[in-house]
Amino acid sequence: MASDKDELYERRIEYLTPRLKQLIKVDEALPHLQLEAGLKERIRRKLNTDGNESAAELLISLVAGRPHPVGWFRAFVDALNHGGSTHAADYLELNPPDPEVEAENDYFVELIRLFTSSLQDLKTEEVLTLCFAQGLLTAADQEKILAERAIHGNKQGAGELLRRIVKCRPGWFSEFREILRLTEHKHLYELIGGPNECDKQKNVAATEETPAESCQSEEPMEISGTEESQDDATDLYSSTDLSKSMDNLHPDLSGCPAPEAAGATRGGPEEISLRDYQMEVAKPALEGENIIICLPTGSGKTRVAVYITQKHLDSRRAEGKPGKVVVLVNKIPLVEQHFSTEFSFLRLKYKVERVSGDSQLKISFANIVQRNDIIICTAQILENYLERATSGEDEGVNLSDLTLIIIDECHHTQKGEVYNHIMMRYLKQKHKNKQLTKLQKKPVPLPQILGLTASPGVGGAKTLNKAEEHILRICANLDASKIMTGSINKKEQRKTILPVEQRKEDPFGCVVKTIMAAIHEHARLFPTCDLGSQNYEQWAVQTEREAAKDGNKTVRVCADFLRWYNEGLILSNTIRMCDALSYLDKFHEEQMKKKTSPDEEQNMQITETERFLFNLFKDKKEELEKLAKDPTYENDSLSKLRTKILQEFSSRKEARGIIFTKTRHSAITLSQWIQENPKFADIGVKPSYFIGGGDQSNTKPMTAAEQKDVLKRFKTGELNLLIATTVAEEGLDIEACNFVIRYGHVTNEIAMIQSQGRGRAEDSTYTVVDVKNSGVAEKEYVNEHREQMMNKAIQKIKKYDQSVYNKQITEFQIQAIMEERVRQVNQKKKAVKDENPSAVKFSCRHCTKYICSGEDIQIIENMHRVNVTQQFRKLFIQRENASLQERRLDYETNGVIACSDCGQTWGSMMWYRGIELPCLNVKNFVVDINTKKYSNCTRWTDLPVKFPDFDYIEHASLMAQGSDDEDME
């Protein structure tokens, strides 16, 4: 039975339904509503078939329908607020606009609807950028509008923008109209009431002339629509001055650090203002020098880069020269982040585009560079196209095509890193230019270089001199004339290290160690390192490789199982015992599945060793389950983490934090542990995990869309605790936190500085929780020492006489170039020794069965190795694997292929331009090259073999011919 309050809410909703239907954004509000999945799907279908208002009406009826769960009305209002329907929420909370304001707003809504056909000619992307920056539209609005524009064209995208903007709170109209003016939509600006130039002159003169006398030289404005709409428009122009001053309008760059943190002062639409310390570090770059900007996380490095970019392009445009800026990042999510937030401001004046491995652009990167002023991309894409230019391909890009390169997280410009490959091309050309100048020949133009970092690190240095050398080498690699640090006061941060205590009893771990000891005895293995340690894992990996190479099936499979048991031990010291058991149980289930064909008609080979291993776990599983349920034996580190989280959320008005952990699996399970603990819910902890998008781990990665959604919810406060892997340490726009915890995982001083920098709020804390066998407490003390050494080294370098500095940089650059030449010579020698594919044999890593010769392997896009022979197809089975599914431009992988005898995974089944092709992963094979066996190949590039390119036309023709033959039969 509904309470009196519920009935009151019902009547309120019923009365407001006509208004709410107009204002609710169903697609944004729906995810935040506490409705059953079936009801949500019903609403989505309504939205797709009948439109937003019909879907909103259905949504309202379902929310208001009885029986009501406790707090249903408040939950509805919160869902509207979180889902971008704040104006609708205002009505429900009895906070509507004043009648005069409401009537005026209704008039503006109707005006936009009347002139929709004309307004759909606007430049959707430019207008959207400012609407988003001004807070008129949400990120979800932006995503929907851009998607509509991409699929159906600009008019449809503009229509979607108009449908969404009229749902804003009153005040949106004058801001929207001014945005039309700023984006040079003069006709549309005047169409909806913006004064034309003659009107402005009239207002300035303040004359009393009649409308008939004014602007007589102007042509009459054409207004489409009915006579009523023409009358409405006439009334608007003649009798109502609705234009409001917009002198302060500017993009707020909402994705940038908060003004307090980043030093962002508000400027007009044509400028970005910097604080003194930001201008201090930017000054040499504004004068054309190559520099590294080293500022703490959250202090506005990217904002400085945007400012430098604008000034660079402005000055070149003023000189009549073309400008071309490339912003390089090392993670795919950063491409979209920079494009949609930090650099979005510049889209008002310049053409900005982004490209990454996730891009769906159908034109080449070279064309994108040619057609745009600013290109934001992953470094590997630029390197690929620089290589194309070097090899003489038409679609390449040259460094001389660019005028400014910005390198984000530039401390990665070291040997082996893609940033360094790009800069090595730069340095070679720079020193060639010196020779050209001596010969009085024209040098090749090179771009200006701007590096950004929060910490260059010390590269493992143990002395100040070595730390100094490490930083100088990074400066040399970036050809930086200076490293700029700025005069900024670093706020004090309370830091605590919670050491690990000796575990009183660990019967769960003892059982796991008993299983491992039995495996040691079975395989006659004698490890000397501690079980549950990193050293043991390395021993197990090496033992498995040697056994695979030797064809010792018993040792190979035992070493593989031991590695998983070792990880289980590590997890039992990090997370709950039940999570560690679940991890081991899942592993055994997957191994058993490999021994069953997809159609379940026949079981595959199960060796005596495999049967022994399966039974060993089966016999101990019940005992492990019993122990895992007893909280008495939980690890002390988890207890300390629990206490620390409770302390942070209990002592703060609004707590917001990040917990860094080592693996994706531990991040997911820690999030589940927090969600399942009522003590955390009682104090308002709202957690989620945040992990990487690569597929190198056994745990399913997060997609870019999932990462974006989590970060968005964290910013809005829907989430207030992230449990993250190292993916959250660098670059990503994580909301300011007031506490950071590193849980059982510490790497180097760079990661320490980056993760500490996530605690940007005042009175923030940084805590390290030690875990058994992790050694994180000792590593953290070392990192603190390295950070101090790094800061001293930077200050010493800044005091160098410029001539001394230049000499040292030149010396390091020449050394780097010489080392690169030696490497290339060795590579050429290696290329000469490249083996004929016929000399290469592949065997199944698990059962040692011969699979194919290198002659059967072909390569697609210099990346994917496939075997399209009919003989090979008889050797494998195919399984579905949802975690493997991924989409690219011309191919997708949607399953795995595995040995038909033993179930060992060999690779994936991919669709390439309509053809199904088995794609191999070299790590799943033992490779024999002229009778010498290799079991440690993790990449195809490790093999000194050149495989022929896949001939798509020939293969497609053969398949088509076979299909025709079948049809004739």
Segment 51-87, tens digit of pLDDT = 899 999 999 999 888 888 888 899 999 999 988 899 9
Max CA distance (Å), the chain: 105
Residue 404 has what DSSP assignment? E
If phi > 0 it is left, if psi is from -120 to 50 it is alpha, else beta; for residue 215 that is: left
Q: What is the pLDDT of residue 459?
A: 85
Q: Of 342, 339, 352, 330, whose CA–CA distance to 257 is shortest?
A: 342
What tokens does 141 get? 């609005």
- Residue 130 C-alpha from the chain's centroid: 23
**Four-residue CA torsion sign, 117, 123, 124, 128:** negative
Q: Of 115, 229, 125, 90, whose CA–CA distance to 173 is shortest?
A: 115
Q: Is there a contact between 423 and 415 (Cβ–Cβ < 8 Å)?
A: no
User: What pTM was computed for the model?
Assistant: 0.63
Q: Is there a contact between 446 and 490 (Cβ–Cβ < 8 Å)?
A: no
CA distances from 628 to 561, 572, 581, 631, 670 (A): 21, 9, 8, 7, 16
Cis ω on the peptide bond leading into residue 67 (within 30° of 0)?
Answer: yes
Q: Of 148, 165, 150, 77, whose CA–CA distance to 113 is shortest?
A: 165
For residue 925, the SS3 value is: strand
Q: Long-range contacts made by residues 65-69, C-beta under 8 angstroms, separation at least 24?
A: 66/2, 67/2, 68/2, 68/6, 69/34
Q: Is there a contact between 719 and 713 (Cβ–Cβ < 8 Å)?
A: yes
* Helix extents (H) in 196-300: 197-205, 227-239, 259-262, 276-286
Q: Is there a contact between 134 and 246 (Cβ–Cβ < 8 Å)?
A: no
- Residue 510 C-alpha from the chain's centroid: 40
* Helix extents (H) in 211-363: 227-239, 259-262, 276-286, 301-318, 332-337
Place of tokens 């009537």: 103
Residues of the chain predicted below pLDDT 70: 1-2, 4, 196-271, 357-363, 393-394, 487-495, 500, 502-503, 597-603, 693-698, 728-736, 747-762, 828-833, 881-894, 959-969
Q: How far apart are the first and last CA of the chain?
A: 70
Burial, 59: exposed, middle or buried (Cβ in 10 Å; 0-12, 13-18, 19+)? buried
Q: Give the list of residues 6+ apart from residue 666 with CB closer than 8 angstroms, or none.
A: 571, 574, 575, 744
Q: Is there a contact between 837 and 945 (Cβ–Cβ < 8 Å)?
A: yes
Alpha carbon distance 151, 360 (integer Å): 12
Task: Tell me the Cα Rg of the chain.
Answer: 32
Burial, 349: exposed, middle or buried (Cβ in 10 Å; 0-12, 13-18, 19+)? middle
Place of tokens 């917009």: 246
**Four-residue CA torsion sign, 425, 426, 432, 433:** positive
What tokens does 559 get? 């070493």
CA distances from 384 to 381, 391, 938 (A): 5, 11, 21
If phi > 0 it is left, if psi is from -120 to 50 it is alpha, else beta; for residue 450 that is: beta
Q: What is the pLDDT of residue 967?
A: 47
Q: Of 594, 610, 307, 281, whose CA–CA distance to 454 is shortest?
A: 281
Q: Of 453, 366, 441, 447, whose CA–CA distance to 417 is shortest?
A: 453
Phi first, then psi, for residue 97 (nearest 5°) are -70, 165
Q: What is the pLDDT of residue 863?
A: 84
Place of tokens 């009801």: 39
Place of tokens 């900007």: 293
Place of tokens 């920098």: 757
- Residue 59 C-alpha from the chain's centroid: 33
What tokens does 126 get? 């430019």
Alpha carbon distance 512, 451 (integer Å): 49
**Pairing between strand 374-378 and 925-929?**
unpaired
